[in-house]
Amino acid sequence: MVGNDLSLDYSLCMGAAIGDRGGLTEDDLATIADRATAAADAVAERVNHGELGFWQLPGDAAGIEAVEAVVHALPEAAREVLVLGIGGSSLGAQALLEALLPPRFETAPAASPRRLHFFDNSDPFRLAHALEALDPRHCAMVVVSKSGGTVETAAQLRVVRPWIEAALGEEAATRCIAVTDPEHGALRKEATNAGWQTLPIPSNVGGRFSVLGAAGLLPARLAELDARALLRGAGRMAERCRTNVLHENPALMLAALCHLHDRARGHHIDVLMPYSDRLRAFSAWFVQLWAESLGKRKDHQGQTVEVGPTPLTAVGATDQHAQMQLFMEGPRDKLLLFVAIADAERDLTIPHSDGPGAYLGGHGMAELLDAERRGTTQALASDGRPSLTLSLPRLDADGLGQLFFFFEAATAFAGELYGINAFDQPGVELGKRLAFGLLGRQGYEEAGREIEAALSARPEGYRID
């Protein structure tokens, strides 16, 4: 461990602290230790066979150099960057920028010379407003899609590309960057034909595991963030997650604790609750990673298992005034994952005053936030409700890199403990197929008929107009 390393305190997961009703026993940990070791070995084997490319991203020196070359080649006039992509091709980058850039207020000078705008939906509202508000002559477009065929991203691209081209003519090609599969897919073809700069998402890196590759590093460098420090932190965490010894590997321990609480104590919901505004988007990234990776119908043998913890997000202290009532007194089905950042970087001392708030005088707001976190944690524990706490000395690029890799590794380990493939997402295919059918896409005629028939067969009398 070095100065800024993440630590995991799981004492309040244990019956010794919170009672046996909600807490785990030493026997529980002993029982899962061998399975955890086998899970870590299975992940290591897949890494060694080149199947899990995310594990290598922190050490990919050529990757970050390629990103920097692309950023260097982007004309300075391109100060507003529209970043198109969805799911794993967007959430990581959004989390990165929110955590590491100072918040921006309209009247404040820019924190970085470029502004990035993320569009991760086919809802036209924000994009339509952006195209009205921005001057395309000052814009660049980054389109991120591993497959190159995702419908939401394809639709955004079809709208934004002509908007930039109409304003810039041939120069538009210098403003468009595609991050996609190195060889395959419609986007790769389009980018090559148009002469755009491109960066690869390696074929063995899935979207939700791609933040430490070009999908995250390009937006990070465009915003002038320290991507190398991010990779350094991630690389150190990758080293810590290499051991197959449960009590020495923090991500393996997280996976084991969540699995045990889910299967042995009925705590099916994992609530990530950072006490930091800067980790709101990170929480959304976690939800996607945990849900899309672990929610699966079939196990490795093809048997129906229908497993997966439900991820939820909350932000401290905001959600103490929203969801905490439910966490404290509602169903005993949750494990709280708190995140504490020791150094708030900016603090405000509350001035002394008379009246109702006098007790706050002289305290820092960061101290207040931390006291609220500790009070909440203990309140849950006193009622036998489990939690664990991840602590980081600082939320800088190095710390964030650790957090990203920690959860990615934990997801891979948890997948093995559940006996499922954490790296596919078959459950989202049917909905896409049916939507294509409704849009009349060639090759989806049968799906179109299927959904039309299903819609017209819905029972009547169950709607209020």
What is the C-alpha to C-alpha distance for residues 426 and 405, in angstroms, rounded to an integer? 24
Nearer to ligand PA5, 139 or 157 (CB): 157
432 carries an active-site annotation: yes
**Residue 267 bears catalytic tag:** no
146 flagged as catalytic = no
Rounded to a whole number of angstroms, the minimum distance from the CB of residue 148 to ligand PA5 is 7
Check if the beta carbon of residue 86 is closer than 8 Å to that of residue 156. no
Please, which residue, 285 or 338, has the CB nearer to ligand PA5?
Answer: 285
Catalytic residue among 76, 106, 132, 321: 321
Question: Number of residues in contact with ligand PA5, rule: CB under 6 A?
Answer: 14
Report residue 254 as tokens: 């997280």
Does 376 contact ligand PA5 by CB under 6 A?
A: no
CB of 292 to ligand PA5, least distance (A): 6
- Nearest approach, Cβ of 423 to ligand PA5 (angstroms)? 8
Question: Residues 377 to 436: which contact ligand PA5 by CB under 6 A?
Answer: 425
| Catalytic pick among 152, 292, 408, 416 | 292
Whether 137 contacts 77, CB under 8 Å: yes
Min dist. Cβ of residue 425 to ligand PA5 (A): 6
Q: Find the residue with minimal CB distance to ligand PA5.
A: 207
Q: Distance of alpha carbon 158 from its chain centroid, rounded?
A: 26
Radius of gyration in angstroms for the set of CA atoms belonging to the chain, rounded to a whole number: 24
Tokens of 179: 């991050």
Choice from 4, 153, 198, 276 touching ligand PA5 (CB under 6 A) = 153
- Based on CB atoms, which residue is closest to ligand PA5, 36 or 143? 143
Q: Would you give the binding string for ligand PA5 spanning residues 112-151, x where CB under 6 A is met?
A: ---------------------------------xxx--x-
Rounded least distance, CB 289 to ligand PA5, Å: 8
**For residue 423, which of 441, 438, 408 has the smallest C-alpha distance?**
408
Collapse the DSSP code of 117 into the 3-class scheme (helix H, G, I; strand E, B; otherwise coil) and give the result: strand
Listed in order, strand segments (DSSP E) in 152-302 are 176-180, 197-200, 269-274, 296-298
Among 53, 63, 136, 206, binds ligand PA5 (CB under 6 A): 206
Instruction: Kindly report whether the peptide bond that precedes residue 40 is cis, defined as omega within 30 degrees of 0.
Output: no
Using CB under 6 A, which residues numbered 80 to 99 contact ligand PA5? Answer: 86-89
Closest to ligand PA5 by CB, 13 vs 67, is 67
What's the CA gap between 420 and 306, in Å, rounded? 10
What is d(CA 294, CA 432) in angstroms, rounded to the nearest whole number?
20
Q: How far is the CB of 293 from ligand PA5 (least distance, A)?
A: 8
Identify residue 332 by its one-letter amino acid code: R
Six token digits for residue 163: 């908007």
C-beta closer to ligand PA5: residue 134 or 287: 287
Nearer to ligand PA5, 338 or 406 (CB): 406
For 40, other C-beta atoms within 10 Å of its C-beta total 24
Spatial distance between the Cα atoms of 398 and 400, rounded to a whole number of angstroms: 6
Q: In the bound complex, what is the minimum distance in angstroms from residue 179's beta carbon to ligand PA5? A: 9
Three-class DSSP labels, 128-176: HHHHHHCCHHHEEEEEEECCCCCHHHHHHHHHHHHHHHHHHHHHHHHHE
Interface contacts to ligand PA5, rule CB under 6 A: 86-89, 145-147, 150, 153, 206-208, 292, 425
Q: Please identify every residue annotated as catalytic.
A: 292, 321, 432
